[in-house]
Amino acid sequence: MAKKNLAELLIDTLVAAGVKRIYGLAGDSLNGITDAIRTDERIKWIHVRHEETAAFAAGAEAHLTGTLAVCAGSCGPGNLHLINGLYDANRSRVPVLAIASHIPSYEIGSQYFQETHPESIFRECSHYCELISQAEQMPRVLEIAIQTALAKRGVAVVVLPGDVALREATNSTPRLNFPEIHTTIRPSDEQIARTAGILNESRKVTIFGGAGCAGAHNELMELAGKLKAPIVHALRGKEFIEYDNPFDVGMTGLLGFSSGYRAMMDCDTLLMLGTDFPYQQFYPEKATIIQVDIRGEQIGRRAKVDLGVVGDVKTTLQALLPNLTEKTDDQHLSASIQHYQKARAALDDLAVGETGQKSIHPQYVAKVINELAGKDAIFTCDVGTPTIWAARYLAMNGRRRLLGSFSHGSMASALPQAIGAQLVYPDRQVITLSGDGGLAMLMGDLLSLRQLDLPVKLIVFNNSALAFVELEMKAAGMLDFATDLRNPDFAKIAEAAGVLGLKADVPEQVRPMLALALSHPGPALVEVVVDRQELALPPSIKLDQVKGFSLFMMKAVINGRGSEVIDLLKTNLF
């Protein structure tokens, strides 16, 4: 029997770890690996048009499955393109392995064609990054990388020169079985008692939950019931907290509701559960704050914390609940829910698409998507206003999933993440809420949808602007600049790529076009021309923002752009 080379052993090791596909773009330094995949039916090469897409798609797979996903890039520019998607995966804490192929090992240090230093470049966006320069390092270094990505829930990078990948392996089989990692961390009895003591003595408790609440829905509902506490959620916690939740009062933050903001500001104790919500201005200044997190390093870095508790949310709540005295005063909860109902009604009032209405409200588009989408649909959304509409109008139910670049905040994530999601779940609807700027940035991978035969549905919010950036400029009192987008006809571009292309120019066309796309058996794109002047207001308007908008309007009039001010006021006030 012929001995295996390192590339073949790499594939054996990935298969042993449960990997089913590798996302990437072929290149000469990857030839050994792609040739090994070519003759191996256990694993597939997912050919995309840009390596950034490969990394985002792998991150989406890891997010949805909780298991290891893999992407690869050829030497130099090829693997450099992975870096943005890897930053996103690492900050989202999903296990991704990147194979960064390298120039010939004997040329390293000579300023060779396409030479970079991957071990330095990828260090900041990974938990582990090492070079394999000798056959004896395989499969041990690869196995350490895999185990690190799984254990630390993040990115690991293996750098492999193309010539080394073709060397004869000194070991013939993988060494590890890669057991699933299910860790529970329980706080000490003393911490549980202190937490219970504070909560039992507090009159108005608000719970603020994030992605760390995944898997703890029942315990969270029981906790809120005992404490008579409203539950506010961060965006990454939406899919785990919002559904079947009578205590829900929405989100806070720049994307959130006034009700979520009020529930946090009006409490005397804030209980943070599994969230690293970054915006300091949305935390209460006078409340007692208890923070529960599985990662101790995160405690207290956003707000002054009176009690930090290291533990996973589910295990911590299971230990805490027997120590709590059920409250009888529900005034804080009732007031918070009433406020939420008013805020929710106000948002729903904006999501209208009346016959004869000249422009399309983006809120209406998101509302219709929510109504037409399947009960187990997977949504991906671009940053900026598409994320706002997803946060406010897509309803989670315990089966739906929502992905986006919520921690890293990168443009162009929706289409690549949809590719990974559809490959993992070929029988589920995968729907993007794409921005015109986001889609344009990685539009080449429309071709991947056709090549891979993926029935992804792309909904493009075309407002001919980098709308959220424009809004930030106006709020700061600046005239918007460099935010205009001279867009193509996205529907025609989709058709040219072999994707069904549809377009809605008026409200009456929105529902039928979305319904047609969702019923289409293959990939489809719906371009919706939405109002550019739609304001996405935060839950609390600060004085400096009021001053900023006033200053913007004065500057606009002085600079001959008064019509924009009129359009802005018409859209949002009348």
Q: Which amino acid, residue 427?
A: D
Let me know: does 88 contact 154? Beta carbons within 8 Å.
no
Q: Which residues pair with 524 in a beta bridge?
A: 457, 500
- Alpha-carbon distance of 258 to 546, in angstroms, equals 16
β-pairing, 128-131 vs 155-161, is parallel
Choice among 157, 292, 305, 383 that is catalytic? 383
In 10 A of CB 510, how many CB atoms? Answer: 23
Q: Which of 498, 501, 569, 512 is nearest to 535 (CA)?
A: 569
Which amino acid is it at 315?
A: T
Strands (DSSP E) contained in 203-352 are 205-209, 231-233, 248-251, 269-273, 288-293, 307-310
With CA atoms as reference, report the closest residue to 126 among 184, 164, 79, 163: 79
Taking the C-alpha atoms of residue 361 and residue 529, their distance in angstroms, rounded to an integer, is 9
Name the residue among 540, 549, 450, 534 with its Cα closest to residue 500.
Answer: 450
Residue 165 near residue 197 (C-beta atoms within 8 A): no
Burial 475-486 (b: 16+ CB within 10 A, else e): bebeebeebebe
Which residue among 257, 468, 490, 549 is the active-site one?
A: 468
Please report, as a single letter, which amino acid is at residue 537.
L
How far is Cα 281 from Cα 354, in angstroms, rounded to an integer? 37
What kind and span of H or E run contains 72? strand 69-73
Q: Is 114 a catalytic residue?
A: yes
CB 264 within 8 A of CB 206: yes
CB 565 within 8 Å of CB 556: yes
Q: Are 12 and 4 in contact (CB under 8 A)?
A: yes
Of 15, 114, 119, 508, which one is the catalytic site residue?
A: 114
On whether the CB atoms of residues 56 and 413 are closer than 8 A, the answer is yes
Sequence-ordered list of residues with C-beta below 8 angstroms from that of 519, at least 6 positions apart, any chain? none
468 in catalytic set: yes
Q: Alpha-carbon distance 311 to 188, whole Å?
A: 9
Check if the beta carbon of residue 149 is closer than 8 Å to that of residue 96.
yes
Would residue 549 show up in a list of annotated catalytic residues for this protein? no
Which of 256, 258, 238, 252 has its CA nearest to residue 282?
252
Q: Where are the beta strands (DSSP E) in 210-286?
A: 231-233, 248-251, 269-273
Q: Which candidate in 8, 19, 48, 51 is catalytic? A: 51
> Is 292 within 8 Å of 318 (Cβ atoms)?
no
3-state SS, 435-464, equals EHHHHHHCHHHHHHHHHHCCCCEEEEEECC
CB 70 within 8 A of CB 18: no
CA 407 – CA 419 distance, rounded (Å): 20
Catalytic residues, by residue number, are 51, 113-114, 383, 468
